[in-house]
């Protein structure tokens, strides 16, 4: 069921806002101020009902100050803030759309833009090209539908990935902390060295959908109507990962369905490194395995040939098409995502910006210390210009990824050939995509 499957993405994104406290800096959105022109002759007045995801519990003081400041400067506008639990946002928004009682501005994830696209306003009516240019193109461009409508604007994200390496184990395999692997092939070679020199598992990566994207495989057609991954290139990548799985360089627990419960992981010291982890993974180590955390060397996540850092989702804002206060909602969103307000936000939590210019603030440029968390913050700032939103733009990205990953498991366990697994996954994708076009 679409709603059920997508709740996990919303909850994950919301949890990120509260979880990444140790690593990053702030987010910045629009450079535009609270005022300014939107649609010609528009009246920026009325009540704006604004939905966020899981912000109220920890950040109500910050948000209430935003609202108070804005309403003082715009006496004709009242902001009605509604905070929605992450697991409920998709169901609640779909119900609001169906009942034609929508919020005027709503926070959702980039992985659900395809689901809501047809019911969202084209924001280019209210955000000028200059307004939109303040956002990193790699973050804003995926928030367009197939016809080029800007259905959302970026708000915040968790930054690019990280490489986390256990120094005490990897030095036995000739690992140079100053030169961590930069490609998937180099990471797999390092994993094999760990296996050969220590007898232990190297890592637990697998050629699932995000890895395939990072390796340079196009998953979906440009019109988002068909699978695009059933290629010799993808088959060869699957064969490559199976080789390292068979040798023991990749730990067998990676074939489990939940990465949070892999049998072999960094926390239990049964693997040596993660070449593409998240800041949340590092925080988990610090909390649950402080000895592993202290032993960790941090580098950028490995990438494919293009060198891009895939962003596994971002928090965004949209304005439902049925809103009666679109112009006022747009002006409010510009205020919320202004550089000044986002910099303030980042000083009470750790998220990453949607505007490259924000990274020029000393809050980002003057990072001191050399703990794993400090190293991670520096890496995330350095890699920010290379991030690309990995969203597919379908009506149910998570379902498609699950279908793909299950076929990868079928191949890795010997149930299918690589060609058959890809063919079956493509057929499943095409069937699912046909139901939404």
Residue 266 DSSP label: T
Q: Is 430 exposed, middle or buried (0-12, 13-18, 19+ CB in 10 A)?
A: middle
Could you give the CA distance from residue 85 to residue 10 in angstroms, rounded to a whole number?
9
Which domains, from first to last, does the chain contain?
Answer: 2-159+312-373 (3.40.190.10)
Give the orientation angle of helix 418-434 with respect to helix 397-412, to 10 degrees: 160
Query: What tokens appear for 183 in the block?
Result: 């490609």
Could you give the CA distance from residue 328 to residue 261 in angstroms, rounded to a whole number?
45
Could you give the CA distance from residue 403 to residue 137 in angstroms, rounded to a whole number?
29
What's the pLDDT tens digit per position in 268-277?
Answer: 999 999 999 9
The residue among 208, 206, 204 whose CA lies nearest residue 217 is: 208
pLDDT higher than 90, residue 21:
no
Query: In the predicted model, what is the mean pLDDT of residues 220-224?
Result: 92
What's the pLDDT tens digit per position in 352-395?
Answer: 778 777 777 888 788 888 899 899 989 988 898 888 899 998 88
Query: In the predicted model, what is the mean pLDDT of residues 149-158?
Result: 92
Query: In the predicted model, what is the mean pLDDT of residues 399-415?
Result: 97
Query: What tokens appear for 73 in the block?
Result: 């400067």
Higher pLDDT, residue 280 or 60: 60
pLDDT of residue 304: 93
User: In which band, very low, low, confident or very high, does the pLDDT at 114 lie, cut at 50, 70 and 90?
Assistant: confident
> What does the mean pLDDT of the chain come to?
88
Query: What tokens appear for 167 in the block?
Result: 């120094």
Could you give the CA distance from residue 401 to residue 128 in angstroms, rounded to a whole number?
34
Could you give the CA distance from residue 349 to residue 22 in angstroms, rounded to a whole number?
8
Higher pLDDT, residue 36 or 141: 141
pLDDT of residue 185: 97
For the chain, give the number of residues.
437
Could you give the CA distance from residue 208 to residue 41 in angstroms, rounded to a whole number?
50
Higher pLDDT, residue 315 or 436: 315
Higher pLDDT, residue 35 or 157: 157
User: In which band, very low, low, confident or very high, does the pLDDT at 427 lie, cut at 50, 70 and 90?
Assistant: very high
Query: What tokens appear for 195 in the block?
Result: 């296996």
Higher pLDDT, residue 416 or 260: 416
Query: In the predicted model, what is the mean pLDDT of residues 408-424?
Result: 98
Name the pairing type of β-strands 46-53 and 77-84. Answer: parallel
pLDDT higher than 50, residue 1:
no
Per-residue 3-state assignment (H helix, E strand, C coil) for 336-394 = HCCHHHHHHHHCCCCCECCCHHHHHCHHHHCCCCCCHHHHHHHHHHHHHHHEEECCCCC
What element of type H or E holds 134? none
User: In which band, very low, low, confident or very high, does the pLDDT at 237 lie, cut at 50, 70 and 90?
Assistant: very high
pLDDT higher than 50, residue 37:
no
Could you give the CA distance from residue 207 to residue 242 in angstroms, rounded to a whole number?
9
Could you give the CA distance from residue 354 to residue 342 in angstroms, rounded to a whole number?
10
pLDDT of residue 43: 58
Which positions ≥6 away from 336 have C-beta within 8 Å? Answer: 29, 66, 155, 317
């Amino acid at each position: 069921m679409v709603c059920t499957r997508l709740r996990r993405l919303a909850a994950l994104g919301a949890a990120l806002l509260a979880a990444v406290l140790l690593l990053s800096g702030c987010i910045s959105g629009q450079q535009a101020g609270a005022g300014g022109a939107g649609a010609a002759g528009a009246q920026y007045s009325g009540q704006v009902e604004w939905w966020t995801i899981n912000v109220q519990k920890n950040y109500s003081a910050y948000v209430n100050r935003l609202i108070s400041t804005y309403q003082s400067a715009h006496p004709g506008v009242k902001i009605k803030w509604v905070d929605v639990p992450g697991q409920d946002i998709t169901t609640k928004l779909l119900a609001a759309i169906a009942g034609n009682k929508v919020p005027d501005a709503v926070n959702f994830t980039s992985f659900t833009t395809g689901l809501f696209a047809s019911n969202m306003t084209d924001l280019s009516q209210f955000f000028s090209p200059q307004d939109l240019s303040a956002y990193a193109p790699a973050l804003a461009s995926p928030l367009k539908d197939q016809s080029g409508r800007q259905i959302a604007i970026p708000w915040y994200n968790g930054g690019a990935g990280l490489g986390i390496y256990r120094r005490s184990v990897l030095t036995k395999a000739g690992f140079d902390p100053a030169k961590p692997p930069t490609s998937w092939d180099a990471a797999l070679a390092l994993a094999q060295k760990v296996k050969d020199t220590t007898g232990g598992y190297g890592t637990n990566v697998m050629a699932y959908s995000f890895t395939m994207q990072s390796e340079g495989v196009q998953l979906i057609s440009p019109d988002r109507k068909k699978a695009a991954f059933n290629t010799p290139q993808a088959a060869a990548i699957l064969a490559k990962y199976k080789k390292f799985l068979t040798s023991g360089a990749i730990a067998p627990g990676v074939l489990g369905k939940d990465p949070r419960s892999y049998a072999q992981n960094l926390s239990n010291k049964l693997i040596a490194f993660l070449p593409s982890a998240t800041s949340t993974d590092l925080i988990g180590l610090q909390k649950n395995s402080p000895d592993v955390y202290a032993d960790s060397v941090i580098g950028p996540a490995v990438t494919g040939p293009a060198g891009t850092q895939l962003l596994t989702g971002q928090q965004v804002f949209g304005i439902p098409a049925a809103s009666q206060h679109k112009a006022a909602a747009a002006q409010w969103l510009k205020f919320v995502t202004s550089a000044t307000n986002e910099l303030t936000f980042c000083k009470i939590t750790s998220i990453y910006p949607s505007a490259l210019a924000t990274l020029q603030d000393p809050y980002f440029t003057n990072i001191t210390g050399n703990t794993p968390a400090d190293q991670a913050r520096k890496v995330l700032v350095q890699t920010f210009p290379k991030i690309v939103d990995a969203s597919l733009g379908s009506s149910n990205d998570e379902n498609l990824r699950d279908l793909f990953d299950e076929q990868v498991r079928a191949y890795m366990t010997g149930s299918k050939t690589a060609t058959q697994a890809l063919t079956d996954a493509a057929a499943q994708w095409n069937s699912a995509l046909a139901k939404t076009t």
